[in-house]
Amino acid sequence: MEQPEIVENAGLWDGRLLTFESLPSTNQWALDNIGSCLHGDVIWAARQTAGRGRFLRKWLSPANRCLTVSVVIQPESPDDFMVKTIAQTGALAVRSTLEKYSIKAMVKWPNDVLVNGRKIAGILAESESQAGALILGIGLNVNLVPGDLSCAPLMQPATSMAIEKKRTFDMGDMCARLLSELETMIGLVARERESFLINTWQKHDFLMEKRVEVRTHEGTVSGKYAGLDKNGRLRLIDDAGQERLFWTGDVSIIKEF
């Protein structure tokens, strides 16, 4: 297995940045090597050969064009507010990173970042129960060109920073900027908690005021999207007028004619 290049204090907080040329999946590497990881370590692979999304879906990341990182977080307690809301916090950090490059992005529950309705980034939060660690995986389409993702059918259209801005971006700068925004966002959420999370999410919420369909392994429910609850769950007012809360699922907007 390839040995990473390690840079001290270049991860999150005082963590390290561990860079690989190629890994199957940065989240999987962090899970497999959790014993040697420290709080705040960031795993970055220039190329992922088996990147994954939620529910074991594939995440496609052409070499050096999609920023694929995983952050190791060892929360003080498994009930930590941050644990429940880390995917939303990650999405908000990606959104504010993009704003720094004048790209107006919106968040879509639970883990997407969209530009003009096209997916530019996805988040995968996984936990490692023995070490009590949380792995926050982020895939951000930086320099993808049209056609890069044409090898597979996508659940929704995709875009990249390069497609939006018609220029390429330095991956190292992008990684540093993303980690800095993430550190700030995690700090804000930890200090100001649900009021900050709910309000900030609401300002950039792609689903606000929409009629949606939420699909889970238990079935599909439709109704009016009503934002996040205090634990980061999706609130839906179903067609019978009842509030329903979801920890996970896939959401799509119902087109009204």
Measured from the CB of residue 79, what is the shortest distance to ligand BT5 in angstroms? 24
Query: Hunting for tokens 């009021």 — which residue is that?
Result: 195
**Which positions from 217 to 236 touch ligand BT5 by CB under 6 A, shown as an x/- string?**
--------------------
Residues 140-169 that bind ligand BT5 (CB under 6 A): 141, 149, 154-155, 158
Cis peptide before 78 (omega within 30 of 0): no
**Which positions from 81 to 120 touch ligand BT5 by CB under 6 A, shown as an x/- string?**
------------------------------x-------x-
Burial class (CB in 10 A: 0-12, 13-18, 19+), 239: exposed
Question: Smaller CB distance to ligand BT5: residue 54 or 193?
Answer: 54
Question: Smaller CB distance to ligand BT5: residue 53 or 196?
Answer: 53
Q: Which residues contact 77 (CB under 8 A, 6 or more apart)?
A: none
CB 129 within 8 A of CB 90: no
Q: What is the DSSP string of 78-115?
A: TT-HHHHHHHHHHHHHHHHHHHHTT---EEETTTEEEE
Separation of alpha carbons 231 and 238, rounded Å: 19
Query: Is residue 54 a contact residue for ligand BT5 (CB under 6 A)?
Result: yes
Q: Which residues bind ligand BT5 (CB under 6 A)?
A: 25-27, 48, 51-55, 57-61, 66, 68, 70, 111, 119, 122-124, 137-139, 141, 149, 154-155, 158
